[in-house]
Amino acid sequence: MADHIELCRNVWFATLKVPADLRPQLGRTKFKQTLQTTDRRRAVELAKPVVALWKAQLRQLQGEPGAVKTEALRWRATLEELKKAGDHDTAEAMEMLVTDKAEEVEQEKGTAEAQAFASLALGYSTPSTLHYDAWVASIQYLVPKARDQYKADVRRLVDRFDTLEAMTPGALAQWAEQLKANPKAPVSPGSLKRMVSCWRSYWRYLQADKVKAVPKGVDPFAEIELPSKKAKGKRAQREQQDHWLPFDPAAVPKLAQAAKDKGDDKLADLIALGAYTGARIEELCSLKWRDVKADSFSIVDSKTHAGLREVPLHPALQPLMKALKEEATDDYVIGGLTFNKYDDRSNAIGKRFGRLKAAMGHGPLFVFHSLRKTLVTLLEDAGVSENLAADIVGHEKPRITYGLYSGGATLKTKAEAIRRVRYPAKVGRAAEW
């Protein structure tokens, strides 16, 4: 019975038990149909599509989505196996059964659904998700965050286009324009560029896997209008950061106070630390007490080599650091934050900062990095040289001689420079200065 066949009067029958909860609807306890053969091996093969049809019917009665599509793919797999084995007679007979089933689908779900079923079952079209899981397995070398982004972008593509054949240059270009023009959630040029890169990764995988619907040398994404290539790597990152705007110094105390008013003391403390150190949000959120001294702290994990540095503690931060130490419940200066699945402690609090600054009327060009720009601006206004400011905030040296040969300013020199920074009002729990 494991093959869903049984012998009756020397003839093999296909059989399948009906689940007890569906028996009242079907008026039977099992399906049974003659296979018109006395050969057991042949009966096993003939039973497969028949049983697949019954199982699909049961799934439909149970309300499982995609049952018709799943059934079509099973027919397709069986047909491909028969053709590969050279059993063309059985394959031809099965194709007739597919036609019969398509007529049933048409009566139940309409012509479009029936055509889609027949096209999938007979191999005329290829589901866009058919090789998705195998592709996902092929990108395990990516870091988790990048891998999840790739999966999400390609999932968006295959959810939009049911078949690979539907991914024509015109259809893809039109969809891309719709994504950009979506009034509720428009896709930015940069995001679209990233998406197309992920989609091409999937397409190249299919080409390498010799999927018939994806011929080599064809790029269906070629007609999508993308932003022109201006910069790559570190240069691109610098250009993006150059677009962030510094907060007006008067806005910084208000941001910290607004966070405190909302009961978000951790965010208020983080704003104060960012305002007086210029450190990146991920640097501050990963800062541990073991790396803090009486008058400075060390950044031991940074995006860049220049970011590895000793940061002087502004005198205004002394009472805040003392309070944070007394309240500490873990190894971190900003305690109690949780890691996301990418081992990032700054993600959740960074989003809270984004919502806070937006509620206060600051647009998309103002981010936590803007506090860094504010500090650099205040240092410049106080007459601090560009190279010294770079040593404090962890920028690459703007002058090649200093960048190549200087070991960096001393802590004493950096401390004297940072003391010149003043805000027009008290920033959170930092002292007035």
DSSP letter for each residue of 59-81:
HHHTT-TTHHHHHHHHHHHHHHH
What ranges do the domains of the chain cover?
5-121, 132-228, 241-418
* Amino acid letter for position 283: E
Q: Quick count: other Cβ atoms within 10 Å of Cβ 218?
A: 10
Residue 101: name the closest of 89, 115, 82 by CA.
115
Quick check: 126 and 163 in contact, CB under 8 A? yes
CATH fold of the domain at 241-418: hpI Integrase; Chain A (1.10.443)
Helix (H) or strand (E) holding 273: helix 265-277
pTM over 0.95: no
**pLDDT tens per residue across span 80-127:** 788 888 888 888 888 888 888 888 888 887 887 788 888 878 877 888
For residues 153 and 142, is the Cβ–Cβ distance under 8 A? no
Dihedral (C-alpha) 35, 38, 41, 45: value to the nearest 10 degrees? -10
12-16, 56-60, 312-316, 374-378: range with lowest mean pLDDT: 56-60
Determine the pLDDT at residue 403: 41
Q: Label residue 398 by pLDDT band (50, 70, 90).
A: low
What distance in Å separates the CA atoms of residue 323 and residue 428, rounded to the nearest whole number?
12
Element holding 108 (H helix, E strand): helix 88-109
Helix axes 189-208, 169-181, angle to 10 degrees: 150
306 vs 276, residue with greater confidence:
276
pLDDT in tens, 344-356: 889 899 999 999 9
**Torsion angle, CA of 315/317/323/327, rounded to 10 degrees?**
-140
Q: Which of 151, 147, 200 is nearest to 172 (CA)?
A: 200
